[in-house]
Amino acid sequence: MKKFLLSIFFIASSTLINAQMVINDSVILGAGYMNQSFYSLSDGEQANIDNTNWDIALDASGYGATIRINSAIGTELYKYPNGDTSSWSNLDTSGINSWAPVYDSDTSWGLGAFNRGMTSSSMDMGWGVYSIITHHITGDSLFVIKLSNGVFKKLQITSLISGVYNLKHANLDGSNEIISSIDKSNYANKNFGYYNLRTDSALDREPTDTLWDLLFTKYITKLSPSMYYGVTGVMHNAGVKVAEMSGVSDVNSATNYMGQNYETAINTIGYDWKSFNMGTFSYEISDSLCYFIEDKSGQFWRLVLTGFDGSSTGKIIFNKSNISNSQSIGEEKLTFGLYPNPAEDVAHIVFNNSDITYITIQNLFGQVVMVKQVEKIGLIDYPVNLSQYKKGLYIIKVQQGNKIGTERLIIK
């Protein structure tokens, strides 16, 4: 029995040490940022792939209808202002130089360039209208797309039926008309399927959704109401949350991830962790900025960007630490009550609160299943509804400032 307990101690100690280890890493996007890097915080780079071989990306999720463009390589999209789909054969592009291009959102994967101009109707997808009777989306808009090779095409997403996108595209004069389809089922468990209008080919180019947290890439951002500009930085996957922490004296030891303002905007890390020094003609990295990230599995990480080579190599340098179970030097033990234990439906956490308190519940895999903030001062009897959790052993963590206490809870 003593050997068993000793083994558990060493396993727990090893987990805590590994959780706080600073891991240095980097990704290389290539000259001119021609590649994208899909990255897992727990498992490293999952794919480093050519970012020049696609023009549009189509939402592969069950009910999604987002369509994005590859603006990183110069693709531009214009929603045709002079008519509806009946204008396909006589598209009038006079005055096209005055048309305003539309771009993808860089805060949400769910708003693509094709979805811009949606009305207030929940049935309007921007490029088509959803029918509650047939559950089909029928295209009601025409688009002109300028490809990365400078060629203009007219384009219509004609429908989305039973998970299959149907589209057609042609030269502006109507020649070389091509009708294609992209089936969502070919991209199961992925965010998007991809299509190249230059070669009329569908592409499967991104890892499974659950296998990556961050995307290192070039993208377009809005710098002013009328100015869009290409930048290179870090976006995060849907389901990942990020908190930016600035003004940190020692970014490599920051561990207070609880209580931070976690954002779902996919550009929370973005590009502005670096700036270009015209005097030295090189990039400078903020030395007081770090990011706390809750990954797809509920683990918490600290990310610190440390270097950027620019367009010559596209190399981005950083370090990461799993801080889900971290405890800083100088932390004091906090005692609290927990009853009943074992528990079935409700467990009560009792503590004397003199500060903001954070309550965290983790399962045996280290996944955070609950985080709550308690601001009320005094003796607190905090009830936790256990009906949503499976039977088994959980770790309850209560933190007030530098004071931390942990207890085991058995749900039966």
Which residues lie closer than 8 Å to 10 by C-beta, 6 or more apart?
A: none
Confidence of residue 268 (pLDDT cuts 50, 70, 90): very high
pLDDT at 329 over 50: no
- Closest to 266 measured CA to CA, from 290, 289, 239: 239
- Closest to 104 measured CA to CA, from 267, 306, 247: 267
Confidence of residue 15 (pLDDT cuts 50, 70, 90): very low
Render pLDDT for 377-388 as a digit per residue (tens, 0 to 9). Answer: 888 999 999 998
Mean pLDDT of 56-79: 95
Residue 123: predicted pLDDT:
85
Render pLDDT for 220-253 as a digit per residue (tens, 0 to 9). Answer: 999 888 889 999 999 999 999 999 999 998 998 8
Range scoring the smallest mean pLDDT among 70-84, 203-217, 344-358: 344-358
- Closest to 64 measured CA to CA, from 100, 120, 112, 2: 112
Q: How far is CA 314 from CA 46, 275, 319, in A?
A: 17, 15, 17
Mean pLDDT of 87-106: 93
The architecture CATH gives domain 332-411: Sandwich (2.60)
Q: Which residue has the higher pLDDT, 314 or 249?
A: 314
Q: Which residues pair with 170 in a beta bridge?
A: 154
d(CA 389, CA 32) in angstroms, rounded, equals: 48
Residue 280: predicted pLDDT:
86
Q: Where are the domains of the chain?
A: 2-50+210-322, 56-204, 332-411
d(CA 129, CA 137) in angstroms, rounded, equals: 5
Residue 364: predicted pLDDT:
65
d(CA 317, CA 396) in angstroms, rounded, equals: 35
Mean pLDDT of 149-154: 96
pLDDT at 365 over 70: no
Q: How far is CA 180 from CA 112, 141, 170, in A?
A: 20, 17, 11
Single-letter amino acid code for the residue at 151:
V
- Closest to 218 measured CA to CA, from 257, 158, 267: 267
The answer to whether the predicted template modeling score (pTM) of the entire model surpasses 0.95 is: no
Which residues lie closer than 8 Å to 314 by C-beta, 6 or more apart?
A: 28, 29, 30, 31, 32, 33, 34, 35, 232
Residue 256: predicted pLDDT:
82
Most confident of 54-58, 118-122, 408-412: 54-58
Residue 8: predicted pLDDT:
36
d(CA 243, CA 248) in angstroms, rounded, equals: 13
pLDDT at 12 over 90: no
Element (H, E) at 5: helix 2-20
